[in-house]
Structure 1
Amino acid sequence: MTDGINIRELVLEILLAVTKEEEYSHIALSSVLEKHQYLTKQERSFITRVSEGTLENMIELDYIIDQFSNTKVKKMKPVIRCILRMGVYQLKYMDSVPASAACNEAVKLAERKGFRNLKGFVNGVLRNISRNLEKIEYPDEKKYPYEAISVRTSVPVWMLKQWSKDYGLNKAKTIAESFQTKKGTAIRINLTKTTKEALMESLSKQGIQAEPVVLKEYPDFDYAMYLTGYDYLAGIPEFVQGDFTVQDVSSMLVTHVAAPKAGDYVIDVCSAPGGKSLHAAELMQGEGMVEARDLTGYKVDLIKENISRCGMKNICAKQMDACILDEASIKKADLVIADLPCSGLGVLRKKPDIRYRMTEEKEKSLAALQRQILSVVCEYVKDGGTLLYSTCTIDRMENEENTAWFLANHPEFTLLLERQIFPDAGEGDGFYMAKFIRK
């Protein structure tokens, strides 16, 4: 605790923002950590671990609570529900936190938030769970495979059934399990400003571990690393001065496969926060122009912020609606990058809240939106130019089915490459890409 700030109260603030206010988890966490930058590295790590861990394991945590509480989780007040969830997470997954501390702090937090009358309830449920952690009964996987995998991995049953239909039950299980594993922070080195060797040496002097990423199928992919052991990004001088950008390996592959050349005119139609656009500008060695577009002023400001930090000159940001045809851009682009809004089912490791807010109905509407945007932005590709369609999902409806639809409706394009990257295989998140050439 620093200056009277209760770090568990900050965790509760994050959980309520995500589960009650429907804030994105990474934004809620970043907002709290940025507001309280004076906290120690240990305190910041605790906040990150408990908030992310609670969200990642919420289905399992609710399953456990329901076994020991007469009031089911769904009927609890949001504050009490979140206090119990974070308490059970500490009991089950954090050996460094004594059971007595997890229970006592939860009781204090309930009182602090105005629920003095429920102190006994919170205390009773958590202490009962603490005494019986080893006796918790889970669904039988042979009898109830989807329910059992869902509870163990906190992936909703409907997602598991969808993946099982597309790829088989065993693959669905390994995909779900992969979202429970952790990797370091993936970064892309800005080779226009530094080298991999120089960056690794500089980071090492700060006690930050940097592990290069090697992809056998792409031997020229030599600008990605995983970072561990740092406090926060804004505290790393090399990040502030634009020597590297945080970006998933699979996301980097999109621009790598698109292969923009020096002097090209590139349009990235849904660019924020600008990782792929900046990557293209770097691969183009400062020549040509990348136009990074997005729908809202907020997103365009994010792109501009990253452009400024990285110091690239052959890139600009514009506020434009990808659904509306820009007549001035017709057949002007050598490359159009269309990394479109999607269900995000490939990035549950980084954005666990997607598990609970995405639905089959939303997924269908997103697939339709992708088709609408593709039909507009393909007009910007010049003869002989490239269209790179990508999503961060593993859903066939949004990926292979949309590609087949696009080819059937736009015979002026030829498919050069189609690839589904799974989160349980390879270095990065679940991603899909399809590379088209206009004849």
Structure 2
Amino acid sequence: MSKPVREVALEILLQIEKNQAYSNLLLNQTVNRSKLDPRDVGLLTEIVYGTIQRRDTLDYYLNSFVKKGVDSLQDWVKVLLRLSVYQLAYLDRVPDRAVVHEAVTIAKKRGHKGISGMVNGVLRSILREGLPSLEGIKNETKKVALEFSYPVWLVKRWEDQYGLTETKAMCQSGLEPPHVTVRVNQVKATVEEALFLLEKDGLKVKKGVLSPDAIVIEKGNVFQTDAYKQGYVTAQDESSMLVGRALGAKPGMRVADTCAAPGGKSTHIAEQMDDTGTVLSFDLHDHKVKLIHDQTKRLGLTCIQAEAMDARNLHDKVTEQFDRVLVDAPCSGFGVIRRKPDIKWSKREKDIQAIKQIQQEILKAVAPFVKQGGSLIYSTCTVDKDENEESVANFLAEHPEFQLDKTLKDRLPEKALARYEEGMVTILPQDFQTDGFFIASLVKQ
């Protein structure tokens, strides 16, 4: 007998709260382990992600109904109330009485009678009186932070960098469910052929909106299809696919991908080189390098050599230079909040400086390995200008032999150029409903 969905959701959310566990990994592990009905997996995913995404808004609502405030409660009671209010406020298809009944049942099972009575009382009061309005909040930054449930410091930071209108759009976009998109392996098939194969496998699919290599999965599980298993397609976000394009690798080149796991960009580069030449793919951890090997094998690519190494120590193992070097740098990840909503709660503003330091160390370490006339591509999945434009400016100030690459725009799709500045492009999550991304191309004179 499998556990009720809301009980499983509570356990996952508690682990995330206590251990800073990653929601996407934990959810996948739990779904694979538990014997949940497939229909319940959708509800579980919705409750877990939704409760994390809306955390501060839910606490704001609860504070009007919990005497000493929501932070006075035990962790499990707080999380149980959050996930219950999430369902009452944001899910239409779940009857209110079922939400309250289930919450009270879990409270009785985990706690004493007083707790289940309190949970019952709070939820019934919310149903009776309705949720409090945000209209009374006069400070615009705080209001946006509460309305969309983001830390105030992050909203303020984005406001300073992008203005209020873009910030609101970015916050809103981070609450929307992400699409599953796949990249077509051009060594094996054209986009048209891959669309045909996926439809034959029973999926509803369409061409991507941003990348010419992309297919959006509208309905069905792509990972169970023959097309996926036989390496005709691989999962990758559309904005991330632009990195391979920006790199502009040609057949027979030597390319280094210095922060490569799980291998999406390395394999894209190999496909563009027609599986000729060499792609050296490095990542810090052995278990991540295994992901690159698995991906390479499934896609049937032979020109990738992957091994574990810290990009900052490239000189320990590598002596020759490369036509192209890719640094898909460690970053705050603020461009992928819709996929990993816990990022907005786990990161602190001071973390950005530490991350930026690592980015600079990697760029400095790999710079000597770019051939004259070759290029260094720097990319991140964040929208933070300190980690993006500032990191590039800092690097260029210390490495006058590099210049921004004016030809980058020729390798990007026309519609991606709205935020293009010489040699650099930013994609915000709201632009195409993709991940937020930054790409810069630097040429060595």
For Structure 1 versus Structure 2, the TM-score category normalised by the shorter chain is over 0.9
- In 2, Cα distance between the equivalents of 1:237 and 1:73? 49
5+ residue gaps in structure 1?
Answer: 216-220
User: Could you tell me how far 1:114 is from its partner in structure 2?
Assistant: 4.4
Runs (4 or more) in structure 1 with deviation over 6 Å come to none
- In 2, Cα distance between the equivalents of 1:326 and 1:147? 47
**Partner in structure 2 of residue 334 of structure 1:** 323
Relative to structure 1, is the Cα distance of residues 167 and 90 closer, same or farther in structure 2, using a 3 angstrom cutoff?
same
**Partner in structure 2 of residue 166 of structure 1:** 161
Residue correspondence of structure 1 range 80-119 to structure 2 within 5 A: 80-114=77-111, 116-119=113-116
- In 1, Cα distance between the equivalents of 2:309 and 2:394? 25
User: Could you tell me how far 1:247 is from its partner in structure 2?
Assistant: 0.9
- Fraction of identical pairs, as percent: 37
**Partner in structure 1 of residue 424 of structure 2:** 418
114, 132, 136: which one aligns with 1:136: 132
Residue correspondence of structure 1 range 191-270 to structure 2 within 5 A: 191-215=186-210, 221-230=211-220, 232-270=221-259
SS of residue paired to 2:311? coil
Letter in 1 for 2:347: M
SS of residue paired to 1:20? helix
User: Could you tell me how far 1:75 is from its partner in structure 2?
Assistant: 2.6
Could you list the per-position Cα deviations for residues 29-57 of structure 1 after superposition, in whole angstroms to 9, with x for gaps in the alignment?
A: 11112223x53331111111111111111
Relative to structure 1, is the Cα distance of residues 384 and 150 closer, same or farther in structure 2, using a 3 angstrom cutoff?
same
**Partner in structure 1 of residue 434 of structure 2:** 428
Could you list the per-position Cα deviations for residues 99-144 of structure 1 after superposition, in whole angstroms to 9, with x for gaps in the alignment?
A: 01001111112233345541111111112112233x5221446x21
140, 150, 172: which one aligns with 1:177: 172
SS of residue paired to 2:432? coil
User: Could you tell me how far 1:206 is from its partner in structure 2?
Assistant: 4.2
SS of residue paired to 1:290? strand
User: Could you tell me how far 1:329 is from its partner in structure 2?
Assistant: 2.6
Relative to structure 1, is the Cα distance of residues 63 and 22 closer, same or farther in structure 2, using a 3 angstrom cutoff?
same
SS of residue paired to 1:68? coil
Could you list the per-position Cα deviations for residues 243-301 of structure 1 after superposition, in whole angstroms to 9, with x for gaps in the alignment?
A: 21111111110111111111111111111111101111111111011111111112112
**Partner in structure 2 of residue 122 of structure 1:** 119
- In 1, Cα distance between the equivalents of 2:105 and 2:222? 32
Answer whether contact 2:383 2:428 (CA < 8 A) is retained. Answer: yes
User: Could you tell me how far 1:195 is from its partner in structure 2?
Assistant: 3.0
Q: Would you say how many aligned residue pairs link Structure 1 and Structure 2?
A: 428
5+ residue gaps in structure 2?
Answer: 406-422
144, 151, 176: which one aligns with 1:149: 144
- In 2, Cα distance between the equivalents of 1:271 and 1:429? 18
**Partner in structure 1 of residue 27 of structure 2:** 29
Letter in 1 for 2:161: D
Letter in 2 for 1:225: I
Relative to structure 1, is the Cα distance of residues 205 and 109 closer, same or farther in structure 2, using a 3 angstrom cutoff?
farther
**Partner in structure 1 of residue 311 of structure 2:** 322
Relative to structure 1, is the Cα distance of residues 115 and 412 closer, same or farther in structure 2, using a 3 angstrom cutoff?
farther
Relative to structure 1, is the Cα distance of residues 370 and 410 closer, same or farther in structure 2, using a 3 angstrom cutoff?
same
| TM-score normalised over the length of structure 1 | 0.93
Residue correspondence of structure 1 range 62-77 to structure 2 within 5 A: 62-77=59-74
**Partner in structure 1 of residue 49 of structure 2:** 52
Letter in 1 for 2:109: R
Could you list the per-position Cα deviations for residues 369-403 of structure 1 after superposition, in whole angstroms to 9, with x for gaps in the alignment?
A: 11111100112211111100011111111111111
- In 1, Cα distance between the equivalents of 2:311 and 2:82? 40
SS of residue paired to 1:188? strand
SS of residue paired to 1:346? helix
Relative to structure 1, is the Cα distance of residues 89 and 207 closer, same or farther in structure 2, using a 3 angstrom cutoff?
farther
Letter in 2 for 1:269: T
SS of residue paired to 1:80? helix
**Partner in structure 2 of residue 438 of structure 1:** 444
**Partner in structure 1 of residue 416 of structure 2:** none
Relative to structure 1, is the Cα distance of residues 120 and 400 closer, same or farther in structure 2, using a 3 angstrom cutoff?
same
SS of residue paired to 1:266? strand
Letter in 2 for 1:172: T
- In 2, Cα distance between the equivalents of 1:13 and 1:208? 32
**Partner in structure 1 of residue 410 of structure 2:** none
Letter in 2 for 1:137: S
Answer whether contact 2:251 2:272 (CA < 8 A) is retained. Answer: yes
Worse-superposed segment, 426-435 or 397-406: 426-435
- In 1, Cα distance between the equivalents of 2:129 and 2:232? 50
Answer whether contact 2:372 2:444 (CA < 8 A) is retained. Answer: yes
- In 2, Cα distance between the equivalents of 1:274 and 1:158? 33
Residue correspondence of structure 1 range 346-385 to structure 2 within 5 A: 346-385=335-374
**Partner in structure 2 of residue 218 of structure 1:** none
Relative to structure 1, is the Cα distance of residues 198 and 71 closer, same or farther in structure 2, using a 3 angstrom cutoff?
farther
RMSD: 1.7
| TM-score normalised over the length of structure 2 | 0.92
